[in-house]
Amino acid sequence: MHEVTIKGGKRHEKHLCESCAAAEGVAPQPAVHTPITDLLSKYITAQSEAVAAVAGGSPVAAPVASGTCAVCGLTYAQFRQSGLMGCPECYTAFEAQLTPLLSRAHEGGTHHVGKSPRRPLSRAKAASATAPDARAVDPAQQAQRLAQLNKKLAEAIAAEQYEKAAKIRDELARLEGRGTEADGPSSRKPGGET
């Protein structure tokens, strides 16, 4: 089953590398994993946590090297105890472990949709450089599309359809990269306009 995931996931390796590279181009931390292992570990973690949650036990500790946030020193174990992150960078450091938790806490939501800061942030700028033609996207449509995909992703993971999940995850990453494109100096995403 897991080999299938690897094989299935490999086809998307190239794309993920791009987005990761874009993100890491501005992030001060060096790359720790190849994207495909990252992707795989997410599903393994999701699976083990889901099983543990169903069984009523505590989730199996994910075998991820980045067990500590390099910026503030918070360990994942400390986070599990307090429920609180130490700094904004913790979200990057613990991204793999967090994904299934977030999905459960937010009705399957794993990616932000909605308002974004008015000032262009360095990361948003860098990400937007990789997606050239996003201004044509209707933000409302995109929000809906993201929500649908997130739901499908959760369903695929629940049904252990990892190959399908990998595809959806890629699609999400692609859409998301595009989404940051709209972060112009004064433009706003859909949620902020109500």
Partner 1 sequence: MTGPRPSAFSTAAVERGADWLRGLGADGDVVVSSRVRLARNVAGFPFLTKTTPAQRQQILELCRSRLLTCGIAEKMLWVDVHQAPAMDRTLMVERHLISKEHAKGVIPGGKTAEKEDATEEPAEPAAPPPRGVAVSLPDESVSIMVNEEDHLRLQVLLSGLELSKAFERIDQVDDLVEGPGGPDARPVKALEYAYSSRFGYLTACPTNIGTGIRVSVMLHLPGLKMTGEMDKVRRATRDMSLAVRGYYGEGSEAAGEFYQISNQTTLGKPESVLLHEFEQEIIPQVIGYERAARTLLLEKRRRLLEDKVYRALGTLRFARLLTPEEALSLLSDVRLGVVTGLIKEVTEQEVNQLILLTQPAHLQRVLGKDMDQAQRRESRADMVRQKLRA
Binding residues vs partner 1 (CB under 8 A): 71-74, 82-88, 91-92, 98, 101-102, 105-121, 123-124, 127, 143, 146-147, 150, 176-177, 179-180, 183-186, 189-194
Residue 58 or 91 having the CB closest to partner 1: 91
* Shorter beta-carbon distance to partner 1: residue 9 or 108: 108
State in angstroms the smallest separation of the CB of 159 from partner 1. 19
Cβ at position 19, least distance to partner 1 in Å: 10
Find the shortest distance in angstroms from Cβ 144 to partner 1. 9
User: Computed from CA positions of residues 143, 190, 94, 83, in that sequence, does the dihedral angle turn out positive or negative?
Assistant: negative
- Which of 72/159 has CB closer to partner 1? 72
Check if the beta carbon of residue 18 is closer than 8 Å to that of residue 29. no
Q: How far is the CB of 12 from partner 1 (least distance, A)?
A: 17
Least Cβ distance, residue 177 to partner 1 (angstroms):
8
CA distances from 109 to 4, 81, 144 (A): 25, 23, 12
Beta-bridge partner residues of 75: 68
> For partner 1, which is the closer residue by CB, 10 or 118?
118
C-alpha dist (Å) from residue 114 to 96, 125, 127:
22, 17, 17
Report the alpha-carbon distance of residue 120 to residue 124 in Å, rounded: 7
Given the complex with partner 1, which of 41 and 180 has the nearer CB atom?
A: 180
d(C-alpha 147, C-alpha 158), whole Å: 17
Please name the residues in contact with 96: beta carbons below 8 A apart, sequence gap of 6 or more. 38, 41, 42, 45, 62, 64, 66
CB of 56: closest distance to partner 1 in angstroms?
Answer: 18
Q: Which CB atom, from 7 or from 135, has the smaller least distance to partner 1?
A: 135
